[in-house]
Homo-oligomer: A and B are copies of this chain.
Amino acid sequence: MSSDIVKRVLAGDRRAVARLITMIENDGDEARRALADLYPYTGQAHIVGVTGAPGTGKSTLVNELAKVYRGSGGQPAHSPRTVGIIAVDPTSPFSGGAILGDRIRMRELSGDPGIFIRSMATRGSLGGLARATADAIKVLDAAGYEVIFVETVGAGQAEVDIAKTAHTTIVIQAPGLGDDIQAIKAGILEIADIFAVNKADREGADNAVMALQMLLDLDHASRPTLHHGVMMGEEASTNESDSGPAPSQEQGWRPPILKTVALHSEGIEAVVEAIEAHLMYLKESQTLYQRERERIESELNDILQQELMRRLLDRVKEGELDDLIQRIGRRELDPYSAVRRLIEGEQFA
């Protein structure tokens, strides 16, 4: 049952982890078998999504967070934990190359055997990338990495996919990148568990914080019960108690808004505390179970879709697809009828 690579991944062998992720990117049968074998060993890691527009300083912030978790930051609040970092760039769908600055971060962090860094770019569809990322997370999880950061360029569906995969999602904003309310995309309110306003030493940081607060107020005003506990910078991270009882399932979680200057390692501990507080909230409120259920449902859906297509295309005769495309191009056939023909032809062949 268990192949060599599965055993090596379970033993935490870094080269096996890297190789299996490459196999996943290349979408081979062997990778699928290995993932099935690894699956029982997953579900241990805390998966933290980090998303933000280009220029917000995502990579720097993730690096700093990783350092705190490794105990090499200022004052680690807990014992060191192993960290996996997956940097996903869904905005370079064609190039498929490494991400700028990747080599720099590697140099800074890769000396530590408790950190594994991998960047992934789209090869094929975004669906393929989201799929491959979810599978890479499983590999790191099974290999024993305790905190896994999945870092993505904030970009519509990619953010949503991260939110589906992650337990905790950090949305990074930065001053001067369009801080007005209109520029803050509606969707992020639904996915953000923690807001980090990075580059907070720049002009406009307070405006960015205020804009986010206003949005949160608008959003929460429409909900039955409120939990007011905006954290501002490091000092405010514990003064949540003035508005009533602790967060609960009924009250929900109000995303804290934290100022950071990742480049100077400022405000990082507060973010780590918020990550830990959010995990605690997820566990206590049973939201973790709900999120896990939704994640599995969406993953099952993705795999199903992919597998159905593979099976159908395996059966379509050579040249048949080409012929259909030509006829649709000449407007002799519409794509809906062509699809019906492809599927039903398959069944009666």
A contact set with B: CB distance below 8 Å: 32, 35-37, 39-40, 42-43, 53-55, 90-95, 97, 100-101, 125-127, 153, 155-160, 176-178, 180, 182-183, 185-187, 190, 292-293, 296-297, 299-301, 303-305, 307-309, 311-312, 321, 324-325, 328-329, 331, 334-340, 342-343
Contacts and interface: CB of A to CB of B under 8 A. Distances in A.
Q: Please list the 5 inter-chain residue pairs (A to B) with the smallest Cβ-Cβ separation, ordered nearest first.
A: A155-B156, A39-B334, A55-B178, A126-B157, A92-B186
Contact of A305 (B54, B309, B311, B340): B309
Given A177-B178, A305-B305, A186 B336 contact: no
A53 B297 CA distance: 31
Given A155-B155, A155-B156, A331-B42, A303 B336 contact: yes
Given A156-B156, A186-B92, A178 B336 contact: no
A305 B92 CA distance: 24
Given A39-B334, A178-B55, A309-B308, A296 B92 contact: no
A153 to B, nearest CB: 7
18 contacts: A36-B337, A40-B334, A53-B178, A91-B185, A91-B187, A93-B187, A100-B182, A126-B126, A126-B160, A155-B156, A156-B157, A292-B329, A296-B325, A296-B328, A296-B329, A300-B335, A305-B309, A307-B343
Among A53, A93, A157, A343, residue most surrounded by chain B Cβ atoms (within 10 Å) = A157
A313 to B, nearest CB: 9
Given A40-B334, A187-B94, A339-B303, A182 B293 contact: no
Among A42, A97, A158, residue most surrounded by chain B Cβ atoms (within 10 Å) = A158
Nearest to A94: B190
Contacts of A340: 307
Given A153-B185, A156-B155, A156-B156, A36 B334 contact: yes
Given A39-B336, A55-B178, A91-B187, 16 more contacts: A36-B336, A39-B334, A42-B331, A92-B186, A93-B187, A94-B187, A127-B127, A155-B158, A157-B158, A296-B325, A297-B321, A301-B309, A303-B339, A304-B342, A305-B308, A307-B343
Nearest to A157: B126
Contacts of A292: 329
Contacts of A304: 309, 312, 339, 342-343
A110 B205 CA distance: 39
A56 to B, nearest CB: 9
A163 to B, nearest CB: 10
Contact of A339 (B53, B157, B177, B300): B300
Among A37, A180, A292, A335, residue most surrounded by chain B Cβ atoms (within 10 Å) = A335
A301 B90 CA distance: 20
Contacts of A336: 32, 35-36, 39, 303
